[in-house]
Amino acid sequence: MSSKADTPSTKPLSNSQRAFLALRDMIFAGDLAPGSDHLESELAEQLGVSRTPVREAALMLESQGLLELRPRKGVRILPVSPDDMAEIYDVLTELECLAARNAANKGYSEPDLDPLAKAIEDMEVAVAQNDLENWAEADDRFHRALVLLGGNSRAATVFDMMNDQVRRARTVTLFMRPLPVQSNEDHRQVFEAIKAGDAGTADAVHRAHRQNAKNMMLELLKKHRLRGV
Amino acid sequence: MSSKADTPSTKPLSNSQRAFLALRDMIFAGDLAPGSDHLESELAEQLGVSRTPVREAALMLESQGLLELRPRKGVRILPVSPDDMAEIYDVLTELECLAARNAANKGYSEPDLDPLAKAIEDMEVAVAQNDLENWAEADDRFHRALVLLGGNSRAATVFDMMNDQVRRARTVTLFMRPLPVQSNEDHRQVFEAIKAGDAGTADAVHRAHRQNAKNMMLELLKKHRLRGV
DNA sequence: GCATTTATTAACGCATACGTAAATTCATGC
DNA sequence: GCATGAATTTACGTATGCGTTAATAAATGC
């Protein structure tokens, strides 16, 4: 679920890194609400460390656009407005379509595409069971697998950053949306296009897919007056 | 020349921010060579501050992919391999083409496009005078103005990060390349397409333009055996 | 009673100090 | 003479302390 590569190797994570992960999780879980302010010292106490690792974590999170360090006001958890979300979706669309084209052009064999196939399967099962949580998880997995198959590590890094924000918004909007039936069909078409080495189709289908997702999200945010998630 | 917005307002920059800018400039100037290691304490002494602001700056630069903090080995200035450069160009291409399409669709009036026009003029003058330095500066200005006209602040932020790396490489390769004559013609076509509201043409022309730039850069890096700049 | 100035508080930026663990050097045994 | 282990060095991670300054409260003038 983390956007960083979860290497199973047991590395002795530093306090700064733990603070980074903890704060990130708290933001996604809503424990640190969008728009809220938090003093470094309060966060330090909550995490049981001194201000130093909290500051370091905050600086990293600031670089990723999740919060803002405002002198004397504490760290501000940045709300994501509908306009922000539109921006994010547009960037994600470009990066994912780049990945889709690249993946199609790489001539992957079937086993390489297993992560995609598995994610599609899981999504179909989830939809059949009306299990939106699991659908969302598998959907996320599909998109990330797609980007990884694209083979551009920088695109993947930026994708992770942006996708984190979408995930955050989706925890709010997930249960407001209709069942993602068309979405699953899109995924399968993208998968087939990549397998067939048809970069143009992969791009076109995925682009339309993402456009729909963007419109859906913006509609939900508008309908429910969610001006900052 | 800085990638951050240079607001002329005199804000009392913090030591951490100054360290960030100073280290960034030192990296671009080659004072901190690609692949070299530097102790936090050494950098602190060079900059005349304590380790704290240096560490904070280093963490930010790490987030931007310019260096890496390696415990006990100092901060390592990340070299950019030809493969890395290819990745960077691909991401830049997508973001700039997104911006070109968006700009074309916004129905800008002539004055809005002045930054582009001015950059094109300057480039033509520079080429006529065989002044590669000024050409590169104006070229950079054109691309950045294009991204700003696209109106996606997140795309602009990522653009800045990636473009910084290209700038770094270009300081090395600038004088190895032929005069950018075709490049100027491309810019003008992109400009005209945006002015005409023709998003498709703007995208197509700019995409080809960027593809050429990428190939040019990769050729130069290969020809001159620059495996890490 | 309101505006303006002064005093107070408090949060941060940054320097500093220190424990820890990696890296290096040195010493010892084989 | 080399390998292995002990001692030492060193750089980092992080806690702590302090000066500065923004924000808030109090006080004064009008």
Query: Does the distance separating the beta carbons of A153 and B87 come in below 8 Å?
Result: yes
Among all chains, which residue has been given the structure tokens 């969008």? A34
Packed helices B40-47 and B15-29: angle between N→C axes, nearest 10 degrees: 100
Q: What is the DSSP track for chain A?
A: --SS----S-----HHHHHHHHHHHHHHHTSS-TT-EE-HHHHHHHHTS-HHHHHHHHHHHHHTTSEEEETTTEEEEPP--HHHHHHHHHHHHHHHHHHHHHHHHTT--GGGGHHHHHHHHHHHHHHHTT-HHHHHHHHHHHHHHHHHHHT-HHHHHHHHHHHHHHHHHHHHHGGGSPP-HHHHHHHHHHHHHHHTT-HHHHHHHHHHHHHHHHHHHHHHHHHTT----
pLDDT of residue B180: 85
Which residues of chain B lie closer than 8 angstroms to A65, CB-CB? 154, 157
The CA-CA-CA angle for residues A17, A44, B47, to 5°, reads 65
Report how far residue B26's alpha carbon sits from residue A142's, in angstroms, rounded to the nearest whole number.
40
Q: Which of residues 43-72 of B touch strand D (CB under 7 A)?
A: 51-52, 55, 69, 71-72
Count of C-beta atoms within a 10 Å radius of residue A223: 10
Q: Could you tell me which residue, B171 or B78, shows the higher pLDDT?
A: B78
pLDDT at B198 over 70: yes
Nearest Cβ partner of B56 from A59, A65, A94?
A59
- Average pLDDT of the residues in B220-225: 89
3-state class (DSSP) for residue B37: strand
Report how far residue A2's alpha carbon sits from residue B146's, in angstroms, rounded to the nearest whole number.
34
Task: Classify domain A82-223 at the CATH superfamily level.
Answer: GntR ligand-binding domain-like (1.20.120.530)
A69 touches chain B (CB under 8 A): no
Give just the sign of the alpha carbon dihedral B125, B128, B133, B135.
positive
Percent of chain B with pLDDT over 70: 95
B67-70 and A67-70 beta bridge pairing: unpaired
Residue A86 CA, distance from chain mean position: 14
Which residues of chain B lie closer than 8 angstroms to A60, CB-CB? 59-60, 62-63
- CATH classification number, A15-77, choose in 1.10.10.10, 3.10.450.50, 3.30.70.940, 3.20.20.210: 1.10.10.10
pLDDT of residue B10: 67
Helices in chain B by DSSP H: which ranges? 15-29, 40-47, 51-63, 82-105, 114-128, 132-150, 153-173, 181-195, 199-223
User: Cβ of B41 < 7 Å from strand D?
Assistant: yes
B219 touches chain A (CB under 8 A): no
Report how far residue B148's alpha carbon sits from residue B100's, in angstroms, rounded to the nearest whole number.
10
User: Cβ of A51 < 7 Å from strand D?
Assistant: yes
pLDDT of residue A225: 82
Which residues of chain B lie closer than 8 angstroms to A102, CB-CB? 90
pLDDT of residue A10: 67
What letter represents residue A198's amino acid?
A: D
Residue of B nearest to A102 (CA): B90
Query: Does the distance separating the beta carbons of B65 and A152 come in below 8 Å?
Result: no
- How many CA within 13 A on the CB side of residue A53? 18
Nearest Cβ partner of B59 from A60, A102, A155?
A60
Q: Could you tell me which residue, B87 or A29, shows the higher pLDDT?
A: B87
Query: Does the distance separating the beta carbons of B94 and A98 come in below 8 Å?
Result: yes
B228 touches chain A (CB under 8 A): no
The whole-number Å distance from B53's CA to C12's C1' is: 13
Which residues of chain B lie closer than 8 angstroms to A55, CB-CB? 56
Packed helices A82-105 and A181-195: angle between N→C axes, nearest 10 degrees: 30
Q: Which residues of chain A have pLDDT under 70?
A: 1-11
Shared fold status for A15-77 and A82-223? no
pLDDT of residue B182: 87
Domain residue spans of chain A: 15-77, 82-223
Report how far residue B58's alpha carbon sits from residue A141's, in angstroms, rounded to the nearest whole number.
32
pLDDT of residue A178: 83
The CA-CA-CA angle for residues A43, A44, A50, to 5°, reads 165
The whole-number Å distance from B52's CA to D18's C1' is: 15
pLDDT of residue B172: 87
pLDDT of residue B4: 43
What letter represents residue B178's amino acid?
A: P
Q: Could you tell me which residue, B210 or A176, shows the higher pLDDT?
A: B210
Q: How confident is the model at residue B12 (pLDDT cuts 50, 70, 90)?
A: confident
Contact, B132 vs B174, CB < 8 A? Answer: yes
Which residues of chain A lie closer than 8 angstroms to B154, CB-CB? 65, 84, 87-88, 91, 162
Count of C-beta atoms within a 10 Å radius of residue A120: 21
> pLDDT, tens digit, for every residue of A182-199?
899 999 999 999 999 999
pLDDT of residue B225: 81
pLDDT of residue A12: 81
User: Cβ of A71 < 7 Å from strand D?
Assistant: yes
> pLDDT, tens digit, for every residue of B140-170?
999 999 999 999 999 999 999 999 999 989 9
Among A153, A162, A170, which Cα is nearest to A65's?
A: A162
Interface of A with B in 49-68 (CB under 8 A): 55-56, 59-60, 63-65
Contact, B168 vs B226, CB < 8 A? Answer: no
If phi > 0 it is left, if psi is from -120 to 50 it is alpha, else beta; for residue A84 that is alpha
Q: Which residues lie closer than 8 Å to B103 by C-beta, 6 or more apart?
A: B146, B149, B150, B151, B194, B202
